[in-house]
Amino acid sequence: MPLSIAHLGPAGTYAEQAALAYADCYTQHSQQPPPLLCPYPSIAQALHSTAVGDTKLTVTPVENSIEGSVSVTLDTLWQLDNLQICQALTLPIAHVLVGKAKSWAQIEVVYSHPQALGQCQGWLQRTLPQATLVPVNSTTDGLQYVQEDGSGVAISSARAADLYQLPILAESIQDHPENCTRFWVVSQLDCDHWIDCAVGEQAYTSLAFSLPANVPGALLQPLRIFNDRQINLSRIESRPSKRSLGDYVFFIDAAVALQADACQAALVELRAHTEILKVFGSYHLLQIDPKGTQP
């Protein structure tokens, strides 16, 4: 039975592009049949499908170079107890404006995912200052609102525009040319149906923790644990715990393999200074081009 991979759908999303690239990598390395891609209407639903065993993997966005973290991915991983990160992918993101307008003045509404709208906000302010920006569930979902009269347009991928046979009005409208999104490949804790496509590169370990009390210096000690062992933290950020105002969960990416002695020692000490500690997994980062995995 083919490996099933969940992602934010429908067809044409950047999450699908990342899933397709990972599927290609998996096929090359495992010599197994091509995986089955399973689109879901939301990121949370995709992750839950893997948590309950409906799919084997989920490819989910976690961070964009312009707009920052994808909060629903972090929050859902914190809420679920049986998921692990087994691979990271970085995908360049080039947005296009799709629609049937004959002039910029004709455009009244722009539809897209909130991340895409944010990544193009400068271009939109300069080019379409009169347009109302309307968020939808995915970049592909916005295409259903493209209107015959040209008043409604969407921001999507070029692949989505091609799939739905809609005209591209402008290309590469993201505010920064080096725009990219990092995705995580997530599985159940006991899943062995995945392939690490970047063995030998820098390993990362992702974790999250809450603190027993919101007092001065409470965060300093956990961070000092990594500093004392010369473990570089490539990302640290807080998310509301949803228990009370001012109570946070801290997410960390450490540039170290989980199996390393320094990391294991850090985790032992960290448990003594945290309320809840969750280790999401250790993995390598795979760079992707829009046409597939890098050689």
24-66 pLDDT per residue, tens = 989 988 888 899 999 999 999 999 999 999 999 999 999 999 9
- Verify that 185 and 49 share a domain, yes or no: yes
Q: Which domain holds residue 139?
A: 96-171
Q: List Cα–Cα distances, 38 to 47, 58, 121, 194, in angstroms.
A: 11, 9, 30, 16
157 close to 14: Cβ distance less than 8 angstroms: yes
21 with 167, same domain: the answer is no
What pLDDT score was predicted for residue 214? 74
pLDDT of residue 292: 46
- Whether residues 107 and 240 share a domain: the answer is no
Q: What is the pLDDT of residue 45?
A: 97
Where residue 241 falls among pLDDT bands split at 50, 70, 90? confident
- 258 and 281 Cβ atoms separated by less than 8 Å: yes
Same domain, 61 and 189: yes
- Read off the CATH number of the domain in which 157 is found: 3.40.190.10
Claim to verify: residue 103 and residue 216 sit in the same structural domain: no
What's the N-to-C CA distance of the chain in angstroms? 28
3-class SS of residue 143: helix
Q: What is the pLDDT of residues 263-293, one digit of tens each?
A: 999 999 999 999 999 999 999 998 887 654 4
Co-location of 140 and 186 in the same domain: no
113 and 138 in a common domain: yes
What's the pLDDT tens digit per position in 138-181?
999 999 999 888 899 999 999 999 999 999 999 999 999 899 99
Torsion of CA 88, 94, 100, 104, to 10 degrees: 130
Predicted confidence at residue 274, as pLDDT, reads: 93
- Looking at the fold, whether 192 and 207 belong to one and the same domain comes out as no
Q: Do 209 and 271 lie in a common domain?
A: yes
Element (H, E) at 286: strand 276-289
Q: Residue 234 is part of a domain; what is its CATH number?
A: 3.30.70.260
How much of the chain, in percent, has pLDDT values that exceed 70?
97
* 127 neighbors 2 (Cβ within 8 angstroms): no
Upstream peptide bond of 10 is cis (omega within 30 degrees of 0): yes
Dihedral (CA of 67, 49, 39, 42) sign:
negative
| pLDDT computed for residue 290 by the predictor | 60
Please state, in angstroms and as integers, the Cα–Cα distance from residue 143 to each residue in 43, 124, 140, 148, 173, following that order.
19, 17, 6, 12, 16
Count of Cβ atoms closer than 10 Å to residue 37 Cβ = 21
Are 107 and 224 contained in the same domain?
no
Averaged pLDDT, 197-219:
84
According to the model, what pLDDT value does residue 29 have? 84
Q: What is the structure's pLDDT at 200? A: 66
Report pTM. 0.91
pLDDT, position 293: 43
Q: How many domains does the chain have?
A: 3
One domain for residues 209 and 273: yes
- Mark whether 62 and 185 lie in a shared domain: yes
Q: Pick from 8, 38, 5: which is nearest to 138 by CA?
A: 8
CB 98 within 8 A of CB 77: no
